[in-house]
Structure 1
Amino acid sequence: MGLFDLINPLSPIKLTKKILDGDDMDLEEFGEKLLSKPYRPGGVFINAIDLIELEEKRKAVYGDVIGVKRKMGYKHFGVYIGKGKVIHYASTSGDFGGNICIHETTLNNFLGEDDEYFILEFPSVYGSPKEVNTKLSDKIVNDLLNMRPSMRKVLRFLKNSSEYHLYSQKETVRRARSRLGESSYNLATNNCEHFAIWCKTGISESHQVNALLGG
């Protein structure tokens, strides 16, 4: 049973539709009202967007590439290997510091001071992965950024599309374990995101670095 089920046994759409009395609305009109009409299920003031986000959230499973958005503005990545454990490229005392290497840690240590993580969902062909469990505004910004035309993006796509391969959950963890103990960290060319995305796709890439370089 999810968090929403504790609030109300009806689904967000059914509950909102019932509250709005929108049985005769066309789909577009209902959709607009669904995303703007606030109400109070269980006495808690909540918006339909919040309910949809609650429904979308899911826990990481074995082989997922996960990440956290640090308060300093960057993202940190790792591979979830089950039972509350993560393999990531970081210092043993934080993301940065002495003795940066690929090692296994607990999900709590991976999160650090953050409360939530996101999961990367990779497209079937080469492209930027989608972040699941992020705020709707962040998704919109990411989509807009991904739509920005760039010759560098086109060249990178042509280079990487032939090498792109989605490994299974089991293979992803095997690839992560194969590099345990590595200590050749480089913020620009071999960081935690390069490592985590390589485990899933075979391509060592950091979308954060690409963005800083202008595409």
Structure 2
Amino acid sequence: MAESKDTGHQTPWTDSDKIGREAKPGDKLEFQRSGGYKHVGIYDGDGGVYHMSGGAGVTSKSDSLYRRDEISQVAGKSKVRVNNERDAAWQPLQETEILKRAQESLGKFGGTYNAASNNCEHKANYMRYGKSESQQVINMVNGIADTFCPPYCGEHPSFLY
């Protein structure tokens, strides 16, 4: 396994046409979106990303489909980076297993989209680590707890980590 996969690794934000120099097959890619949210997928090693999104075949805005699109298409004008920071806490699956999971999911419905329990980061983490979790959701919940809990209950009990 490469060093970045053992210790956790995050690259600086960059343009989509440059990320292929940094990313390795099976790496988790993050795409900046407005409002501080990040879209997340798995790099295929050949200029593409496996990700959960809407698109052709999706009949409802709440439905999601596993797709493979070119990085530049997913990024649009936004920046992208490799973010494998969870590697420091979670053992990533082997590259071949990550890509197998991603390829087997192509064209399948990902279920009803739910920002808190079934979003693109949940799916990318499942493909890379076998764990369906979203750090964006955890950060949001803890941020709300930090804002509202201390005046009423002292320090929040760190609801999620």
TM-score normalised per structure 2: 0.65
How far apart, CA to CA, are the structure 1 residues paired with 2:75 and 2:131?
Answer: 25
Do the aligned residues in 2 keep the contact of 1:67 with 1:77 (CA within 8 Å)? yes
Gaps of 5+ in 1: 1-51, 127-163
How far apart, CA to CA, are the structure 2 residues paired with 1:212 and 1:53?
Answer: 21
1:146-161, aligned counterparts within 5 Å? Answer: none
Quote the residue 2:5 is aligned against: none
CA RMSD of aligned residues (A): 2.7
Cα shift readout 1:133-191 (whole Å, capped 9, x = no counterpart): xxxxxxxxxxxxxxxxxxxxxxxxxxxxxxx4311222111111222212303221110
Distance 1:73 1:177, change over 3 A: same
- Number of aligned residues: 122
1:78-117, aligned counterparts within 5 Å? Answer: 78-92=41-55, 97=61, 100-114=64-78, 116-117=79-80
TM-score normalised per structure 1: 0.50
- Ranked by relative contact order (alpha carbons within 8 Å, sequence separation 6 or more), the top structure is 2
1:13-162, aligned counterparts within 5 Å? Answer: 58-92=21-55, 97=61, 100-114=64-78, 116-124=79-87, 126=89
Identical counterparts, % of pairs: 29
For 1:171, give the aligned amino acid: E
Of the candidates 166, 169, 173, which is equivalent to residue 99 of structure 2? 173
For 1:101, give the aligned amino acid: L
Quote the residue 2:117 is aligned against: 189
Distance 1:97 1:123, change over 3 A: closer
Distance 1:124 1:118, change over 3 A: closer
Cα deviation, residue 204, structure 1: 0.4
How far apart, CA to CA, are the structure 1 residues paired with 2:77 and 2:50?
Answer: 18
Gaps of 5+ in 2: 1-11, 143-159
How far apart, CA to CA, are the structure 2 residues paired with 1:53 and 1:72?
Answer: 16
Distance 1:92 1:166, change over 3 A: same
